[in-house]
Amino acid sequence: MITRRAFVAQVVSTAAPKRDRLVIDTHLEVWTIDPKFPFAHPERPNLEISAAAPIENQVEQMHDFNIP
């Protein structure tokens, strides 16, 4: 006897095309060193940064790990 859940899972797995695993980065950290947008760490208010972390760095890392 097959359950409804198992049947649906079987139908979906055979009918749907095989895809690579989807990776979603839900924690993105980017910042700039600009007096108009002061850096404010929520847990370490006295933290001083000396380098920016622009979005271009994040995009490059995503390409390094094959994340579209």
> What are phi and psi for residue 37, nearest 5 degrees?
-130, 75
pLDDT, averaged across the chain: 83
**pTM of the predicted protein model:** 0.51
Question: Contact at 8 Å (CB) between 33 and 54?
Answer: no
Region 16-42: mean pLDDT is 81
What is the distance between the terminal CA atoms of the chain, rounded to a whole angstrom?
42
Q: Is the pLDDT of residue 19 over 70?
A: no
pLDDT reported for residue 36: 93
Q: Which residue did the predictor score with more confidence, 16 or 38?
A: 38
Region 25-29: mean pLDDT is 81
Q: Which residue did the predictor score with more confidence, 35 or 22?
A: 35
